[in-house]
Amino acid sequence: MGEGFSFRALDRRDLGAVVSLIGPLYKIRRPPEFFSWQLFDNVHPTIFWGAFDGEELAGIFGIQKRVLTNGLIAGQMTGVNIGAGWRGKGLLKGMGDKAIGSFNDLDMVFIFSNEKAVEPCKAAFGLVYTAPIAALELSVHAKVRSIGLSSEWIDHGTLFPLKSLSHGQRTAFLCGRDFRNWRYSQSPYHRYQKLSLDEYRFAVVKMFHPPEGGAGVGDIVDLECPPDDRHGLADLLHGACSGLIKDGAKVITTWALPGTELAEECASIGFTIGAKTQFGLRSMRELDGNPYSLDYWYFRQADATNY
């Protein structure tokens, strides 16, 4: 497995090699500051391992440790990339085993990925894939009510509540003040807006303009509302959508898992099934409940690092 390659944990001295490795793999070119933020300035305990062909970086594999609302600890596989010339040589498992083994307190490991990663991750790590996470997309705006929300660009002075309550009885990743400050105010790539009904009911949104041109896309990456406030949830969703439309969004996307009130509200104003993200998971011990079912979870779009 990965014979002829060396493996070690990455540090800041490897930043240039990381940028050189990942740059050619994607249409969207992110600056070095983005990778430093993800790899070395992460709010979560995080480690990245690299595979080296001599002195050349051939692949990277990260694990960021995320605490769940039920107290369990999940290792999120992140930043998994292998250069085109080094695929099929066992690097995925070689790096991944070392990254996962860097933490001895993980209750599960998981990944949000595209379809191409499914079979390799099944083979390398024994991941079980649930039903995919279907993004919801709104392209017809006729049912959106215009509701004015207070708006601010998120920066280091933006106030967030200490913890989130939106998940209700489902299990979510902790999404408190520290996470939101890091995720939104410290992002070196996207600018985010906070659209609020009040201190405890708000949405975090951003605009995205495809590099190849085309219609602007508005993403609702985070939505905070007490689970017993259905009226407030509806107003917040309409207000976030109307704000993004005003900013030029032709298409609006978000995540809302089936069976949640948010999914029902999205359907009521015309959101339809869009692009799918694969969710693979492996429990490291016997757990209460069924984390292999989407019914167990409450996800935000911001839980995936690319939004």
Render pLDDT for 155-181 as a digit per residue (tens, 0 to 9).
Answer: 999 999 999 999 999 999 999 999 999
Distance CA 236, CA 144 (A): 11
Q: Which of 43, 41, 46, 55 is nearest to 6 (CA)?
A: 55
In this structure, CATH architecture of domain 134-277: 3-Layer(aba) Sandwich (3.40)
The neighbouring-strand residues paired with 207 are 218
Is the Cβ–Cβ distance between 212 and 27 less than 8 Å?
A: yes
CA dist 154 → 203, 215, 234, 303 (Å): 11, 24, 23, 18
pTM (2 d.p.) = 0.95
Q: What is the topology classification, in CATH, of domain 6-106?
A: Aminopeptidase (3.40.630)
Which pLDDT value is given to residue 1?
59
pLDDT band (50, 70, 90) for residue 190:
very high
Distance CA 278, CA 163 (A): 27
Per-domain residue ranges of the chain: 6-106, 134-277
pLDDT > 70? residue 2: no
